[in-house]
Every structure is written in C-alpha cells, then in structure tokens.
Structure 1
C-alpha cells in the first residue's frame, strides 16, 4: 500500500476520500511521472511536501537534524576518545593481564546489540535507580533556558549516547590495541628504545601517535553505520531525530519524506568523510606532502 492506505487505516474514509487524497498527493500519477517531478524539484533544491506532517520536508528535517547531530557527535566523541585511550592503555604492554582483560571485554561489548544495551540502561539507571530520564531530548514544558536547559539536555543524552557509543568504543579499542601491537615492531621504535627514551614517552610520542592514524580513517567509515544505528537508539529512547523521523515516515509510508531523509543522510556522511580526510592530512604530513608532489 501507499500513504493513502496508511492514512485511511488510521482515520477511516470512503472511496471518494481515497480518490481525493491520491489526487492531492500525486499518487494517481505513474511512477515515471512522479520520479521526473521529484528530480525536477530536487534540481531546484525543493524536497517537496511531507504527507504526514503537511509541511515542507526541508523544515521537518531541519527541525530534527540538530538532535541527531548532537547524539552522533557525543557518541563519536565518547567512543573515539575513550576507546583510543583504553586501546593505548592496553597496547602499552602487549600480552599483559590488562591487555587481555580489555581485549576480551571489548569483544564481548561489541557483540551486544545496541537496542538491548539501551533497554538494559533504561531498566537499571532510569527505572530502578531513577538517576536519569527514560527518554526524550529534554523535559517537556520545563521552561528552562541557558545553562539549565543545556544541563537538562545533557542528562537526557547520557543513556542514548552511552548505548550508541559503547558499541563503537569496543571497535576503536581493539583497533588501537592492534595498531599499537604492529607499531611496536617498527624500526623507529627500536631506535627510540636504543636512545634511552622512557617507555611512557615512547608509547605516547611514537607508538600511539602512529597507531592513531587508522582510527581516523575508520572514524569516517563508521559515520554511516553510526547514523544507521541512531535509528534504533532514537526509537528506543524516543529521541526526536532523523532516525525516529525515518521510522515514522516508513510507518506512514511517507515516501517523499523518507527520500529526503536518505538524501540528507548521504550528504551528511559525505561531509563527515571530507572532514576526516582533511584531518588526516594534518595528522600525517606525509599525505599532504605526497599530494603536493603529485
């Protein structure tokens, strides 16, 4: 069925209403005609009208996009920052007890489904302990402004950010640990040891710095998966972002809205990968030098 079928199921209506809605929403046209009209509107940067919200799709997406960016940005900072730090801690002494413990723990954490982890966090910290809100992005009609509102949003984001970030934290931890294990065998590390440098300096200035570069590349590659994971997390925690909006569009069979979300998501992933490439050139001067020489 289409959007009219979903609308009639929820509200009811006769055959005349169905015919009127199909004509109003352009669903009585052929698929080729609708595709041509959509592409023509897209050339004019017009994403069309949302069938569900009866509003321009651009406005609906821009209303939800900041919440998704905030969730993704916070989860990325948590997973990349803490994951790389724990990876450095584990890889500083390969084969040690802490290395094996963190490796096994990260493997177990990576195997946990995001929605299951989210539900467990809700039960423990929101239902049983009542330390944090169950869901949403902020308290409804709280009237808070400034720092009070920022603190309220931060409290609401703790659980969804943890559920989304911990999965990728395990990935970055394992990658950082594996990268450091590889760098330890390089000649320049042996040279640093021969110079009498302290182990701490060797780890931070030589081993960790070079092992960090593959993680930066993975940061861009994982952006698409994290955006997809936000669909589940936003649904579990009722965060009004693009992920939950996509779920609503699918349920209502709002094809124009869903196409707009996919298009914006693709542009977002491309932009993130572009920023990662720029950051990589700054972190590894050899990349910029090779491109300049070419």
Structure 2
C-alpha cells in the first residue's frame, strides 16, 4: 500500500509537470487562435479580434494564463473549446471510449500474437519459423504506422473490399446490440492491426530472446529431467519468467500506442481522441489540445503503475514494497 501511494504521488507530480510544459509549448507556438476563430466567421476587424482574445483570456500575460489554467485543472475544469463552444471535458469523454477500445485491442493483439510467435520461434532458434519471425519483426518494426494504414486501406478498399476502412460503425447501421458490437468489431480490425503490428514485432523478438535465455536455465533442465511434459515446461515454468520483461516493455510502450493512435485514427477516420487532437491542432483549439494531452499523459501514468503492480501477479516473489 505504501508503494502504491508513493507511485500515485509521483504520478500526480509528473502530470503537473506535463500540464505546465504542454501549456507553455503550445502557447509559445506560432499561430493566433483569435484569427482562426475570426476566420470561421468570414473575417473580422481588429476590434472583434480583441474581443475574442478578451473572452478567452488570451489578452492576459502568459504566466497569468498559466496560473488560471492550473487552478481550473485542479478543480476539474479543462476549459471550453474555442471551436465547439463546449466544455473540453465533455468533448474528450465522448472520444475517450473509442480511443481506449482501439489502444487496448491493438495492445492485446500485439502481446498475444507477439508472445505466441516468440515462444514458437524460441523452441527451434535456428529453424525456419525463427527466421520467419525475425524477418516479420524487422519489417513490422521498420514500417511507419501511417504507411501500414494506407497500404491496408488500399488492399481492403480496392483489391479485396471485405473490411470497412473508415469510421467506427456503418453510417446507416440498423440493428440490435449484438449486431452493433459485430459491426464495430469489423471496423476495428484494420485500425487495431495497423497500430498493433509495430509493437507485435517488438514483443515477438523480445519473447524469443527471453524464452531462449530461460529455456537454458537450470530449473528448466531439472523439470525436463523429471519428466515434466514439454508443454508444461514451456508455458508454466519458462514463459512465466520470460513474460516479465515483456510486461515492462508493454507498460513503457503504452505512451507510443497513444501517440500512434493519433495517426491511425486520422488514416481510418476513427472518432477518438487522436482525431480530436489532430483537428484541434488545425483549428488552434488550445483548450481541447491541452485536454487531450492531459488525458493521454494520465493514461500513460496509470498504465505504468498497473505494469508495476502486475509484476506481483506474474511473480509473487517480487517485493514491490521494497522497490523505489
């Protein structure tokens, strides 16, 4: 419990630093939100621009704006969107579910298939399957996410039009709850695959290396000498220890998953936070962009804490209370 509280306190301090840094970087970037808002109205005079800046507090000194923003964040107020004229928290919560669905599906796909491929490759390190996994891992890791998404879009939109390549569900969908779940699942296949491929490649190589190392350990040879079935040796004795570095990398890569989701959601028009962040950048909608970055950072911090706690479940011998 003490360890958990210490980790949570550190996470809060980290989030505070992220909020301050993001605010300063975004406000110092070129571009005038007032001009963008005025442009949506077809242009405006200097008086109107000044009125817009006053309404949204853009006329105040930067440090004053930062102080106001931090005090609002502490109260749970992330501000109001310049473009939608709605609370930022409402906009983000409406997009949070699709992003979590996409990220978790991609993470699950990457870990399950990556570990499975790595385990199979480790059984015969010099065999064909091991070489195949190495090639696939290299290609998957080297291919940019947006390129993979565009190639899959071309493949399944033009050559083999069997999967939807846009949106989260069909625009004119009519059906019950179960049919809707299936419809969303079909739309999720390509985005989740695109986002998960690069991480699948990393997990496969990591699982292969970890399993080769563990399978050569003394306790594994002892288990084999006692006549323990090979499947039990591999999946109970070896994999349980080899999975620890995979859990570490999975937690550390969660931030990359969130950032990769921005590109994937843009390519497939997935209605998540990544798409909202992309549109907010184009519109200079600072409050929404800051809100998306805040929620993304919070998700990464929570993922890292859960990763640390999962160590205890994977191996009870680890004393998390004594770790720094």
Q: What 5-or-longer segments of structure 2 have no aligned partner?
A: 1-30
1:12 to 42, 47, 51: 42
Aligned partners of 2:240 and 2:127: how far apart in 1?
21
- Structure-1 residue corresponding to 2:88: 57
- Structure-2 residue corresponding to 1:118: 149
- Structure-1 residue corresponding to 2:70: 39
User: C-alpha displacement at 1:256, in angstroms?
Assistant: 1.3
User: C-alpha displacement at 1:292, in angstroms?
Assistant: 7.3
Whether the 8 Å contact between 1:103 and 1:174 is mirrored in structure 2 is yes
2:219 to 164, 168, 188: 188
Whether the 8 Å contact between 1:231 and 1:244 is mirrored in structure 2 is yes
- Structure-2 residue corresponding to 1:236: 267
Q: What 5-or-longer segments of structure 1 have no aligned partner?
A: none
User: C-alpha displacement at 1:293, in angstroms?
Assistant: 11
SS in 1 for 2:173: coil
Evaluate the alpha carbon distance shift between residue 126 and residue 20 of structure 1 in structure 2; reply closer, same or farther with a 3 A threshold. same
Counting only pairs closer than 5 Å after superposition, residues 189-228 of structure 1 correspond to structure 2 as 189-228=220-259
Report which stretch shifted further, 184-193 or 29-38.
184-193
RMSD across aligned C-alpha pairs, in angstroms?
Answer: 1.7
So what's the TM-score if we normalise by structure 1? 0.95
Aligned partners of 2:317 and 2:55: how far apart in 1?
58
Whether the 8 Å contact between 2:261 and 2:274 is mirrored in structure 1 is yes
Whether the 8 Å contact between 1:57 and 1:257 is mirrored in structure 2 is yes
SS in 2 for 1:18: helix
- Structure-2 residue corresponding to 1:163: 194
User: C-alpha displacement at 1:10, in angstroms?
Assistant: 4.2
1:97 to 128, 134, 139: 128
Report which stretch shifted further, 226-235 or 40-49.
40-49
User: C-alpha displacement at 1:84, in angstroms?
Assistant: 0.5
Report which stretch shifted further, 8-17 or 52-61.
8-17
Whether the 8 Å contact between 1:127 and 1:134 is mirrored in structure 2 is no
- Structure-2 residue corresponding to 1:127: 158
